[in-house]
Structure 1
Amino acid sequence: MMAAGGCWLLVLGAAGLVFGLPPVRWMQAAPGDPGMNTLMGLAEREYNAASGREELYRAMRMRDLRKQLVSGIRYEFTVFLGRTLCRKGDEELLGNCPLHSLSALMEIECKFSMFVLPWVNETKVVEQTCSQEGHIEETSEPSSSKQEEPSMKAEAEMLETLSLFKDFVTTYNKKYKDTEEALMRLQIFAQNLKKAKEIQEKDQGTAEYGVTKFSDLTEEEFRTLYLNPLLSSQPPRPMKMAPTPTDPPPAEWDWRDHGAVTEVKNQGMCGSCWAFSVTGNIEGQWFLKKKSLVSLSEQELVDCDVVDQACGGGLPSNAYQAIEKLGGLESEQDYSYLGHKERCSFSTNKVSAFINSSVEIPKDETEIAAWLAQNGPISIALNAFAMQFYHKGISHPFRILCNPWMIDHAVLLVGYGVRDGKPFWAIKNSWGKDWGEQGYYYLYRGTGACGMNTMCSSAVID
């Protein structure tokens, strides 16, 4: 079997070749590099663990620190250790241990080569060579605690991560500005694989989670670029309550089967989900009243709704009011989506649909189903906790993980039914067809999952 250091050098060094990146370079660390203290602590611990001496040694200073960004960070450095008056068993006191009076003459020089793997919070010592009492002592064999040869399982996981990232970059045509950014995205990707696995293990439904086009984004980046924080931070504009349907809902219903839903759209890197949710609702209402399905303009709302914040988020209740004041919505064809705010260029001569008012829909899910079946698709908002890594199936996160008071994404409720014995809501999203089930999200029905019943509304067309 290949030696531990050789194996990691091969796997990590090959990362650049796998992703078509230029060769990685060694970089000298600047004085005061924040990683120095951590590395000195690691060197101190590793030396004392591997040493056969009873006395403990403390790291005094470092020189020649350089690093190389691979799929982790490889460090090489020299550290000088001084003998203390503490002995094995006193490791917790080492920082305050007095030095031996002749420590300057007993100083030990060690050269280390280490790999730091941030996404697994692990450090692997490849080589440790120390001078001792006038001769060189080779201690390159790992200590029993942290320097053991990587297991076959760890090697397999690393290779699988590299392979998945390569497929991800190819599938979604990802472009990174340089090697450093690409390797940073690889680290985030590896962390997200673990998150997706945790969500999968905790899901109570039939959903499958894994690699999506958002897998190289941190949670904060994802929220900033694609979600809508205003939904939970601002109260919605008061609207009158919609009449409660008197007839019970049918066992299942889907407005896609009845021609009331346009194709899945893509909001891009813009927090304009609120506009897509509202236009989707109005498209359905217009179809039911006028027997004509027209794709309506979200860009008009991004540009012309002066109450909401364009790509910074907005509320459906405000959007309805803005549409009433403007006099209607133009078609997607006449006022195309750009994914960023521009000067308002709305023309009353090009209005393709208008509304008269808007209503709030009750929070009871049976009533929501009945209203939807009778009146058309509904604008809703929910907590998008499980959506970054969603592939398919019926998502059913634990309530504590997907709490209903932290809604951050507006979508369109188009139907409901039962699949594999589990009741679901069919939800049209606005992240394109290359996400979820052809752009759709299926969420467990009956428990108010992820707050989907907390902000339901519709336009009214007389």
Structure 2
Amino acid sequence: MGYLHILLVLTCILSSAFADPVSNDFIENINKQNLTWRARKYSDTSSRRLSISRTSLGLSPTDEKDSLNIVAYQIADGDIPESFDAREKWSNCSSLKEIRDQANCGSCWAFAATEAMTDRICIHSNGIKQISVSAQDLLSCCTNCGYGCNGGYPANAWSYWHKTGIVSGGLYNSSNGCRSYSLAPCDHHVSGSLTNCSAVIEAETPQCVKTCDNGTHLNYTTELTFGEVPYVLENVTSSIQWEILTNGPVEAEFDVYEDFLVYSEGVYKKTENVSKVGAHDVKIIGWGVDGGIPYWLIANSWNAEWGENGYFRMLRGENHCGIESYVVVAVPNLGSDSNIPKFEIGMLLFSWILYMYCR
């Protein structure tokens, strides 16, 4: 392992070990500043630890981002609406309303990717294919995606979907698909109903097993889903918007500062004099304007007890915390007849036979 890789691993370890004791005074100070967002106050007065549990690594020379095509759209004035919510446009896709939980594992890179893949399969099949893509399979089996629970590389995740494929699989303890997530949910930087993530031993990367879970009676090979060649979006707000508007949610990476961890509601913009604690990958599903402040609408993977029921909004158009600088995605490879229901295929075939007979 080279010195650079050692440095990256140490950076991840230091990020996961970051643990400034932060009292409610820190949170109250944020809320007294009349910002565009509010921090969540803990339910007790004891000192809490702000630790970002093994967040994803930042960019590195081994990431395939630099080798991917950069896509830029030429957008005419008026083509982009002032607000957009993918949950409303594609309301028949249940995955768009789902908030996942990466548990005490730095698998946000895999979660943001598979969440967007899941949405896009539904969107591009006109709601016919409601297949949950397995974060467990990507996390455990993609050997060049990074370090598993110690962080990973988003571009490599999308390339893996294109070259190798990822099976179906749902949330923890679910029977949805081939390989469901094996790590139990926990509370991320909130005092909620679950065990606090910082109180749980940090998870090891699950083992790669190319068989489906016991009891599913599914075949691993036939459960594989695939994507087309991935691409990176130009760091231009309108290009990212157009991609979401036409193809569905995208994966984005941004720098995380300590105040973000206690976000509760509003349009997030980092406060002054806060420390950077790592990087994080999320799924952007839309945008809007609140009180004159443009924002991105984003799904996090820290369960629904964090933020705005699992979502958050971040300042849009200024590449805040780097949110617009690293957006990677692909369209699903659904096969030639994936957008046509089998019933319709049968009716088309019957009509053709009838036509030939009656000629």
If the TM-score is normalised by the length of the shorter chain, which range does it land in?
0.5 to 0.7
1:197 partnered with 2:28:
yes
* SS of equivalent to 1:231: coil
1:367 partnered with 2:250:
no
Counterpart Cα distance in 1 of 2:310 and 2:278: 20
* Alignment equivalent of 1:265, drawn from 88, 100, 125: 100
Q: Give ranges in structure 1 of 5+ residues lacking alignment.
A: 1-186
1:283 equivalent in structure 2: 118
Report which stretch shifted further, 357-366 or 328-337.
328-337
2:352 equivalent in structure 1: none
1:239 partnered with 2:72:
no
Q: Say if 1:262 and 1:283, in contact at 8 Å, map to a contact too.
A: no
2:253 equivalent in structure 1: 381
Alignment of 1:115-154 (within 5 A): none
Counterpart Cα distance in 2 of 1:216 and 1:263: 32
How far does residue 303 in structure 1 lie from its aligned partner after superposition? 1.1
Q: Give ranges in structure 2 of 5+ residues lacking alignment.
A: 1-18, 171-175, 184-203, 212-219, 334-359
How far does residue 217 in structure 1 lie from its aligned partner after superposition? 5.1
Counterpart Cα distance in 1 of 2:150 and 2:131: 26
| TM-score normalised by the chain length of structure 2 | 0.67
CA distances 1:167-219 after superposition (whole Å, capped 9, x unpaired):
xxxxxxxxxxxxxxxxxxxx976x33222234434574133443389x96534
| TM-score normalised by the chain length of structure 1 | 0.53
1:390 equivalent in structure 2: 263
Structure 1 stretches of 4+ moved >6 Å: none
1:115 equivalent in structure 2: none
Q: Relative to structure 1, is the Cα distance of residues 371 and 325 closer, same or farther in structure 2, using a 3 angstrom cutoff?
A: closer
Q: Say if 1:245 and 1:370, in contact at 8 Å, map to a contact too.
A: no
* Alignment equivalent of 2:207, drawn from 335, 343, 357: 343
Q: How many residues end up aligned between the 2 structures? A: 268
* SS of equivalent to 1:369: helix
Amino acid aligned to 1:432: N
* Alignment equivalent of 1:218, drawn from 49, 56, 59: 49
Counterpart Cα distance in 2 of 1:397 and 1:267: 23
Q: Say if 1:407 and 1:450, in contact at 8 Å, map to a contact too.
A: no
CA distances 1:90-125 after superposition (whole Å, capped 9, x unpaired):
xxxxxxxxxxxxxxxxxxxxxxxxxxxxxxxxxxxx
Counterpart Cα distance in 1 of 2:237 and 2:84: 14
* SS of equivalent to 1:408: strand
Amino acid aligned to 2:148: A
Amino acid aligned to 1:375: N
Q: Relative to structure 1, is the Cα distance of residues 200 and 350 closer, same or farther in structure 2, using a 3 angstrom cutoff?
A: farther
Specify which structure has the higher proportion of strand: 1
* SS of equivalent to 2:312: strand
* Alignment equivalent of 1:444, drawn from 303, 309, 315: 315
Q: Say if 1:412 and 1:428, in contact at 8 Å, map to a contact too.
A: yes
Counterpart Cα distance in 1 of 2:292 and 2:158: 37
Q: Relative to structure 1, is the Cα distance of residues 245 and 236 closer, same or farther in structure 2, using a 3 angstrom cutoff?
A: farther
Counterpart Cα distance in 2 of 1:281 and 1:389: 25
RMSD of the alignment, in Å? 2.7
How far does residue 449 in structure 1 lie from its aligned partner after superposition? 1.4
* SS of equivalent to 2:281: strand
